[in-house]
Amino acid sequence: MSRQVTIALSGNPNAGKTSVFNALTGARQHVGNYPGVTVEYKEGLAHHQGRAVRVVDLPGTYSLTAYSPEELVARNYLIGQRPDVVVNVVDASNLERNLYLAVQLMELGVPLVICLNMVDVAESRGLKIDAGKLSQLLGVPVVPTVARQSQGMNQLLAAAVELAQSDPEWRPLNISYGGDVDQGVAEVAAILQGSQERHGLLSARWLAVKCLEGDQEVIERVEESPELAGKLLPVCRRVAGHIKSTMDDDPDSIIADYRYGYIAGITRQVVSSEREARMDLSDKLDRVLTHRLMGPLFLFSVLYAIYNFVFWASEVPVVWFEEFFVWLGGAVEGLLPPGVLRSLIVSGVIGGVGGVLGFAPLIAFMFFAIAIMEDSGYMARVAYIMDRVLRMFGLHGNSVMALMVGGGISGGCAVPGVMAARTLKDPKARLATILTVPFMNCGAKLPVYSLLIAAFFAHRQAEMLFLLTLISWGLGLSAAKLLRITLLKGQQAPFVMELPPYRAPTMKGLLIHTWERTWQYVKKAGTMILGVSVLMWAAMSFPGLPHEQEAAWQKRIQAAPGDAARLDVEAGRARDQLAHTLAGRAGRALTVFTDPLGFDWRANVALVGGFAAKEVIVSTLGVAYSLGEVNPEEAQSLSKRLAAEPGWNPLKAFALMIFVMIYAPCLATVVMIRKETGGWRWALFSVLYNTIIAYLLALAVYQGGRALGLG
Ligand code: BGO
């Protein structure tokens, strides 16, 4: 490259920028003004290996917002002039605060070199900074300097010129600002992505963040196009309003919090202090909550407490819901004459959807507990703790969020979990993460567990869910390790875990977050699950028994001596009829495989339906067992029916829960895996990989249990 290289110097006031500028350029400098503003402008020449390098001194700033003329000048220079490299002068004795500007430069995407200045001052205060590690975590060159004594200047210049000569692209850093803001940013960015007015080479995401921060300059630019402004500004206002009502704060302070959280994650790994550092409340809490030993202990206690709370709080409302649907079924049965329509409504709709909706209170309490963890900032600490464990299994720190979103605490969803793996840059670790997410206990598996736990482990509900959580993590991580030592072998990249400050959640925010997710669940029950449940009902109702067989049953029913005998015969007829249907035949055909697992044909049908969505397992069992129901006087909830069913026992229920936990991800997840991996190969792999593991484990559990006399 023969053209002249331009380096822009940026930094907080008093970080030593002038000293660096003077040390680099000596007397070869001149002063001017930026066009149109009174902010001073200095420029000079440095020499590197016989070549002149232009050095531009930007105004000293703490940030890159549009609040002050200096910040605006610095930002507009970077965006408008696009220097080859930006050297960010950072005061090493005040690293946390100085990195705030560095993070903003990285979010903008400029090719960056960090000048870690004043290391002498840092050392005199007992601070040791691992420049190599800092460089690794930030992904940019870091050069320690003492500008006052011109130490490190050659290395700094060499690093800047080397980077400039590699003709680097602008690569914006994407950090997470927490669920609500991230969602808002994605929404606004999608609008900007589609618009022509997006200026120059700035990323849509950066502009979206600026819009949500309320950056006057960017908003004015947007307003130059009335069409874009008409689409964009209402969305910004709505998102900001939503954030304000859930977090009780403005988007810009939340975003700043998360930037500091990102920085805290870095300084924790690179700064070691010989003296007791001054600590705020967040630091003090973190000392305990992210401690190597106390951290995991506290986490386990929290999970255990949550599961206890969820079952305790939802016990009464779940019974109300169940009883309501039982009552509703009975009422409709009384109103309609026997026939297909009555069967469709009572068994297909009420039996199916009611079974799923019955768990809405439990799901809501779970989401409430998760909202507390997220809104308080504790969820980020859980990720921090899990990060250490994950590395042992070949996953990446960034995998944690994907796994948590996917149901690491019970109650997430694998679809956004798979999407969350996008933040992983290493393709193999990303793929391993995507394939591990479906092992987590998503919210759709929760009703299945709750049903079986209520029926067979009623006295150990929280313990059982806790155990299932541990099993899902254990299996997921082992499956990931297996992939990482076979198909997806590779190195691990460094990574920064964000530690935003703790906040006291607001009740309003918790309720809104709980409601949003619970409503998703209810909507799914009312649409997709309703549809599948009606389909399953049809498959379990048709074809009916052949004429002669039906006539023979009717004759036996007529001939039965007394009510009890008649009910017995009717039950036999219902079983015979179910077994004759499409689903019955398919389910029975599958028993060749599932007999050794203890699953009967009705469980098989439910599992096949569960591929559409795992909640369907509950609704299908609901349909299957309500179709088998012959005595309306004895109508009872599904869990009671299963508990009373002769073919069922705790061992079989446990084997079924293990199978449901791991077997093929639901259809929506498979489609998302296809989308995220760019083809069907890994999507189909996940179906097979999971189903085979599920089969082998359920087999081991059931046969092992029987050998121990547990069946
Ligand atoms: C005074 N180490 C030490 N110890 N000091 C440094 C270093 C370093 O690496 N780099 C800079 N300084 P500017 P901005 C001063 O001016 O370059 C010192 O705002 C003083 N002045 O010498 O001006 C530097 O351009 C009287 O200190 O920063 C300067 O970014 C007594 O940090 C100060 C003591 O540097 C700020 C210091 C009359």
Looking at residue 198, what is its pLDDT? 53
The pLDDT confidence band at residue 32, using thresholds 50, 70 and 90, is low
pLDDT tens digits, 260-283 = 999 998 998 899 887 666 667 888
pLDDT tens digits, 496-510 = 777 888 888 989 889
Give the sign of the dihedral formed by CA 605, CA 607, CA 611, CA 615: positive
Closest CA to 86 of 63, 68, 108: 108
- Residue ranges of alpha helices (H) inside 377-506 are 378-392, 399-403, 414-420, 427-436, 445-456, 461-485
- Tell me: pLDDT of 602 over 60: yes
Closest CA to 359 of 489, 240, 448, 252: 448
Looking at residue 630, what is its pLDDT? 53
The pLDDT confidence band at residue 426, using thresholds 50, 70 and 90, is confident
CA–CA distance from 360 to each of 332, 353, 355, 363, 519 (Å)? 22, 11, 10, 5, 9
Higher-confidence residue of 366 and 67: namely 366
What mean pLDDT, rounded, does the chain reach?
88
Higher-confidence residue of 616 and 113: namely 113
Burial 440-474 (b: 16+ CB within 10 A, else e): bbbbbbbbbbbbbbbbbbeeebbebbbebbebbbe
Give the sign of the dihedral formed by CA 97, CA 102, CA 103, CA 104: positive
Looking at residue 279, what is its pLDDT? 67
Ranges 61-70, 122-131, 534-543: which has the least confidence: 61-70
Token pair, residue 273, equals: 């202090």
Q: For residues 420 and 422, give the distance between their C-alpha atoms in angstroms, rounded to a whole number.
A: 5
Query: What order of strands is seen across the sheet that includes strand 40-48?
Result: 29-33, 40-48, 51-57, 5-11, 85-91, 112-117, 142-144
Arithmetic mean of pLDDT, 467-493 = 91
Other CB atoms within 10 Å distance of the CB of residue 144: 21
Q: For residues 171 and 140, give the distance between their C-alpha atoms in angstroms, rounded to a whole number.
A: 11
The pLDDT confidence band at residue 392, using thresholds 50, 70 and 90, is confident
Q: For residues 138 and 133, give the distance between their C-alpha atoms in angstroms, rounded to a whole number.
A: 9
Q: What number does the ligand 1 atom closest to the CA of 89 have?
A: 30
Q: How far, in whole angstroms, is CA 599 from its chain's centroid?
A: 33
Q: Has this prediction a pTM greater than 0.85?
A: no
Q: Whose CA is nearest to atom 19 of ligand 1?
A: 14
Q: What number does the ligand 1 atom closest to the CA of 21 have?
A: 17
Q: Whose CA is nearest to atom 17 of ligand 1?
A: 16
Query: Ligand 1 within 6 A of 16 CB?
Result: yes
Closest CA to 240 of 288, 293, 185: 185
Question: Please, are residues 235 and 88 in contact by the beta-carbon 8 Å criterion?
Answer: no
Q: For residues 610 and 616, give the distance between their C-alpha atoms in angstroms, rounded to a whole number.
A: 5
pLDDT tens digits, 285-315 = 988 998 989 999 999 899 889 888 988 998 8
CA–CA distance from 332 to each of 324, 538, 571, 639 (Å)? 12, 19, 21, 21
Backbone angles phi, psi at 173, to 5 degrees: -80, 130
Ranked by mean pLDDT, the top range of 56-65, 366-375, 512-521, 690-699 is: 690-699
- Tell me: pLDDT of 205 over 60: yes
Query: Ligand 1 within 6 A of 60 CB?
Result: yes
Looking at residue 629, what is its pLDDT? 58
pLDDT tens digits, 165-203 = 998 999 899 898 988 899 999 999 999 887 765 556 688
Q: Where would I find the beta strands (DSSP E) of 476-598?
A: none
- Tell me: pLDDT of 473 over 90: yes
Query: Ligand 1 within 6 A of 632 CB?
Result: no
> What percentage of the chain carries pLDDT values higher than 70?
94
- Tell me: pLDDT of 636 over 80: no
| Coil vs helix vs strand at 23 | helix
Arithmetic mean of pLDDT, 217-244 = 90
Q: Whose CA is nearest to atom 11 of ligand 1?
A: 16
Q: Annotate 317-381 with DSSP letters as a single string.
A: HHHHHHHHHHHHHHHHHHHSPSSHHHHIIIIIIIIHHHHHHTTHHHHHHHHHHHHHHHHHTHHHH
Backbone angles phi, psi at 343, to 5 degrees: -60, -40
Cα 118 to ligand 1 centroid, rounded to whole Å: 9
Q: How far, in whole angstroms, is CA 652 from its chain's centroid?
A: 32
In the block, tokens 């009975």 appear at 330
Looking at residue 201, what is its pLDDT? 63
Q: Which domains does the chain have, with CATH numbers?
A: 5-165 (3.40.50.300), 179-273 (1.10.287.1770), 289-484 (no CATH), 526-707 (no CATH)
Backbone angles phi, psi at 21, to 5 degrees: -60, -45
Question: Which of 148, 149, 150, 156 should be mutated for ligand 1, with most atoms under 8 A from CB?
Answer: 148
Higher-confidence residue of 94 and 115: namely 115
- Tell me: pLDDT of 12 over 60: yes
Other CB atoms within 10 Å distance of the CB of residue 197: 13
Q: Within a 13 Å sphere around the CA of 315, how many CA atoms are in the beta-carbon half?
A: 12
Looking at residue 199, what is its pLDDT? 56
Question: Which of 12, 18, 19 should be mutated for ligand 1, with most atoms under 8 A from CB?
Answer: 19
Cα 56 to ligand 1 centroid, rounded to whole Å: 19
DSSP letter, residue 632: G
Backbone angles phi, psi at 14, to 5 degrees: 75, 10
Q: Within a 13 Å sphere around the CA of 47, how many CA atoms are in the beta-carbon half?
A: 5
Q: For residues 380 and 378, give the distance between their C-alpha atoms in angstroms, rounded to a whole number.
A: 5
Q: Which residues contact 166 (CB under 8 A, 6 or more apart)?
A: none
- Tell me: pLDDT of 476 over 90: yes
Ranges 33-47, 63-77, 163-177: which has the least confidence: 33-47
Q: What number does the ligand 1 atom closest to the CA of 22 have?
A: 17
Cα 26 to ligand 1 centroid, rounded to whole Å: 16
Ranges 197-211, 323-337, 664-678: which has the least confidence: 197-211
Looking at residue 464, what is its pLDDT? 95
Token pair, residue 157, equals: 């210049």
Ranges 9-13, 427-431, 516-520: which has the least confidence: 516-520
pLDDT tens digits, 333-390 = 889 998 889 989 988 888 778 877 888 888 899 889 989 998 898 988 888 888 888 8
| Coil vs helix vs strand at 46 | strand
Query: Ligand 1 within 6 A of 18 CB?
Result: yes
Looking at residue 594, what is its pLDDT? 95
Query: Ligand 1 within 6 A of 148 CB?
Result: yes
Looking at residue 457, what is its pLDDT? 95
Question: Please, are residues 55 and 24 in contact by the beta-carbon 8 Å criterion?
Answer: yes
Looking at residue 278, what is its pLDDT? 61
The pLDDT confidence band at residue 710, using thresholds 50, 70 and 90, is confident
Q: For residues 625 and 326, give the distance between their C-alpha atoms in angstroms, rounded to a whole number.
A: 13
Looking at residue 419, what is its pLDDT? 84
Cα 18 to ligand 1 centroid, rounded to whole Å: 8
Q: Which residues contact 668 (CB under 8 A, 6 or more apart)?
A: 415, 613
Q: Whose CA is nearest to atom 29 of ligand 1?
A: 16
